[in-house]
Amino acid sequence: MGALKSTDYNGVVEGGIVDEIFFQIPEILSIHEEFLEGLQQRCSNWDVKYTVGDLFVEAFTKQQVIDTYTAFINNWKCAKDATKIATQAKPAFARFLEHMSREHKGKLALDALLIMPVQRIPRYELLIKELLKHTNMDHPDHHLLVQAQKEVHDLAVKINRVEREAFQIEQMQQRVREIEQHIEGVVDLCMPDRAFIRHDVVTIPGGLGTKKERCLFLFSDILLITSIKRKSTAMRKPSSTPSPSTSSVSPSQSPFTVLDSNKYKLLTRFSLDSMEISKSTDVSLKKAMRDIATLEEDIHILNQIKELVGKLSSPHQALEDVVRDLTNGVSKQMLEKQNSDYSLISLELTVTTQERVDNLTIQFTSPERRAVWSAAFNEAKQKLAVSTGRRLPPELKKAMPIRKTRAGLQFTCAAATLGCNQQGLREVWVCNSDGYVGQVCVLSLLPEPTVMSCNGVCNARILTIAAIPAACTMVSDKSRWRAPVTEAAGVSIEVEEVVEESSEELANNGNIQLDSDSSDDEDDSELPDDEKGKDENRKRGNSIPREEGQDDMDHKQPTMWLGTEDGW
């Protein structure tokens, strides 16, 4: 490395390439030189009671050692590629490497030398084992050598794991590059963290009742949908590989073995973040599975009846015929349902884009393939959520009933509060409506989910709810009219007026105000005289304190806003 950067070899190869080839080599050399220096100092004035196990522990338990070796291994493939490219592009560099290989005492080439730092750690472990063989158990160095053996072994295991993961990542990247070459129209498919999971040939319903064969390529973060067309040579060429419609590419199998017989053209691609399996799909599938389970139970009961009939002493041929015919009929019915039930092989995906929410219906070749693909899709989404630091989808822990102030109320929306109640606990406000009244049910989350109160708050359907943080500055001069509803528990519910602007006004403003206040031009004749005065003062920017400073306290506390069907 030093020779290539010296003036004697100036122009043989660029300095940046040298740094890439020998990345982390100086740091690794420094680690072992420091260890060697300590060992030489200990051996220079050797005594029979001296120890060396502590030197191993001190040298190879530092986080810097693990980080340095990890970075070196992750760059090892890049170093090999850089060496190969530079050798082909720079004949002088190729001659230099050949000369250095002849001069080396082991006649090793650069590729062989680059892997030696990784092989050094297992050799240390073997050395410690030899030292233990010749060290008495009562010697002060024995327990230190045992500890050193464990630490060095753990380091070797970590390095091997990093090396194995780096190799697997490189294999996956190569696989993704191969797939990219097979799909017409796809670009930028190969990404550092993108892994290929599987591909399946499915049927997607189109317009006017048509159905077209498509191919799904599922990756760790995206889904590709392509058209598929058999190559003309594929009809004449025998193949020992299974059909792509009934197989997926396993991680140990090259995609070429399956994809070579077809042509693929990209139709669309979706991020897994924007896709979910529709709940209606789960409902239909569960119903179909319940029906099949019922038929299976019937067959089981009929088999038991058949056994009991066989134990009868009196003539029972007619009864046996009836049971056999009934069993055959139920079996045929179950087989037909398994083969023809649309919900068993269909999957509906909800795709959310910036423009709209669409549904994508996919039909698989069998219920088993549908189940396998669904499991792979959900697992990929969960891993993606973990890898990006996001929370996993919430898991259902418990269902609890909510009291209703009147019959017929149905859930509409819910939101968590930003602050805590008087007991210092977080709350969730759940809204129920029936078109005539709106109810708010307050749930306390800690220590256990508990219904704190249920109250009717308005004579309209509640459409939305939002938690609003405490005000940091003076309230805007836009007028707000609050109708406070105070519960016995001290929870204050404020319903604020929201006036919809006409489409012409929205076009003029250019921005849609999602939380617009009531209009300044609105006729305030319906307000009481005292409210008019407060409203006028608010428009002029004056703050009118409530009794005992309640207004100031409200502005310093987070609150909840409700949006109702009539604009309040």
- Give the CATH number, domain containing residue 59: 1.20.900.10
Residue 451: domain span: 404-469+558-567
pLDDT confidence of residue 149 = 93
**Residue 438 and residue 433: Cα distance in Å, rounded?**
5
51 lies in some domain: yes
Residue ending a domain, choose from 173, 192, 209: 173
pLDDT confidence of residue 502 = 41
Residue 203 main-chain phi, psi, to 5 deg:
-120, 130
Say how many Å lie between the first and final Cα of the chain, rounded: 75
pLDDT confidence of residue 89 = 87
| pLDDT band, residue 483 (cuts 50/70/90) | very low
Q: What is the pLDDT of residues 495-506, one digit of tens each?
A: 444 444 444 443
Q: Is the peptide bond before 447 cis (omega within 30 degrees of 0)?
A: yes
DSSP-based helix, strand, coil % in the chain, nearest 5: 50, 20, 35
On the question of pLDDT at 490 being above 60, the answer is no
Using DSSP's 3-state secondary structure scheme, residue 362 falls into strand
pLDDT confidence of residue 222 = 92
Residue ending a domain, choose from 139, 173, 207: 173
Per-residue pLDDT, averaged over 54-72, amounts to: 90
DSSP designation for 243: P
DSSP designation for 242: P
Per-residue pLDDT, averaged over 376-403, amounts to: 76
| pLDDT band, residue 338 (cuts 50/70/90) | low
In single-letter form, the type of residue at position 312 comes to L
491 lies in some domain: no
244 lies in some domain: no
pLDDT confidence of residue 353 = 78
On the question of pLDDT at 465 being above 70, the answer is yes
37 lies in some domain: yes
Q: Which are the contacts of 543, defined by CB distance < 8 A and separation ≥ 6? A: 474, 475, 537, 551, 552
Look at 524 and 403; give whichever has higher pLDDT: 403
Q: What is the pLDDT of residues 164-183, one digit of tens each?
A: 888 888 888 888 989 998 89
| pLDDT band, residue 109 (cuts 50/70/90) | confident
Per-residue pLDDT, averaged over 117-131, amounts to: 91
Share of the chain above pLDDT 70, in %: 71
pLDDT confidence of residue 284 = 64
**Residue 348 and residue 351: Cα distance in Å, rounded?**
10
Per-residue pLDDT, averaged over 121-139, amounts to: 92
**How many domains, the chain?**
2
40 lies in some domain: yes
The string of DSSP codes covering 73-97 is HHHHHHHHHHHHHHHHH-HHHHHHH
pLDDT confidence of residue 437 = 87
Q: Are strands 346-352 and 275-277 parallel, antiparallel or unpaired?
A: antiparallel
On the question of pLDDT at 54 being above 80, the answer is yes
pLDDT confidence of residue 37 = 92
Kind plus residue range of the DSSP H or E element containing 67: helix 63-89
pLDDT confidence of residue 386 = 80
CB neighbourhood size of 302 (10 A): 18
pLDDT confidence of residue 417 = 84
Dihedral sign for Cα 17, 21, 24, 25, please. negative
The string of DSSP codes covering 447-506 is SS-EEEEEEEEESS-EEEEEEEPPPSSPPPSS---EEEEE-TTS-EEEEE--PPPPHHHH
Least confident of 118-127, 152-161, 467-476: 467-476
pLDDT confidence of residue 489 = 40
Per-residue pLDDT, averaged over 88-98, amounts to: 86
Per-residue pLDDT, averaged over 68-75, amounts to: 88
| pLDDT band, residue 553 (cuts 50/70/90) | low
- The region that residue 249 occupies, defined by phi over 0 for left and psi between -120 and 50 for alpha, beta otherwise, is beta
pLDDT confidence of residue 48 = 85
Q: Are strands 183-184 and 262-271 parallel, antiparallel or unpaired?
A: parallel
pLDDT confidence of residue 131 = 92
pLDDT confidence of residue 169 = 84
140 lies in some domain: yes
| pLDDT band, residue 476 (cuts 50/70/90) | very low
Per-residue pLDDT, averaged over 161-165, amounts to: 87
pLDDT confidence of residue 286 = 67
421, 439 contact by CB (below 8 A):
no
Using DSSP's 3-state secondary structure scheme, residue 50 falls into coil
**Residue 33 and residue 27: Cα distance in Å, rounded?**
10
| pLDDT band, residue 389 (cuts 50/70/90) | low
Look at 284 and 537; give whichever has higher pLDDT: 284
Least confident of 102-111, 156-165, 189-198: 102-111
**Residue 409 and residue 240: Cα distance in Å, rounded?**
62
Put simply, whether the predicted model's pTM sits higher than 0.85 gets the answer: no
One-letter-per-residue 3-state SS of 385-435? HHHCCCCCCCCCCCCCCCCCCCCCCEEEEEEECCCCCCCCCCEEEEEEECC
Q: What is the pLDDT of residues 22-33, one digit of tens each?
A: 898 999 999 999
- Cα 362 to Cα 247, 348, 380, 460, distances in angstroms: 17, 6, 18, 40
281 lies in some domain: no
DSSP designation for 187: -
Kind plus residue range of the DSSP H or E element containing 222: strand 222-230
| pLDDT band, residue 521 (cuts 50/70/90) | very low
Kind plus residue range of the DSSP H or E element containing 36: helix 25-44
Look at 554 and 31; give whichever has higher pLDDT: 31
Least confident of 152-156, 439-443, 545-549: 545-549
Kind plus residue range of the DSSP H or E element containing 357: strand 357-363
**Residue 267 and residue 184: Cα distance in Å, rounded?**
9
Look at 477 and 340; give whichever has higher pLDDT: 340
Q: Are strands 357-363 and 346-352 parallel, antiparallel or unpaired?
A: antiparallel
One-letter-per-residue 3-state SS of 258-323? HHCCEEEEEEEEEEHHHEEECHHHHHHHHHHHHHHHHHHHHHHHHHHHHHHHHCCCCCCHHHHHHH
Look at 239 and 168; give whichever has higher pLDDT: 168
Residue ending a domain, choose from 173, 190, 211: 173
In single-letter form, the type of residue at position 395 comes to E
360, 348 contact by CB (below 8 A):
yes
Dihedral sign for Cα 384, 390, 393, 398, please. positive
Q: Are strands 196-205 and 482-486 parallel, antiparallel or unpaired?
A: unpaired
Least confident of 91-105, 162-176, 195-209, 480-494: 480-494
Per-residue pLDDT, averaged over 170-198, amounts to: 88
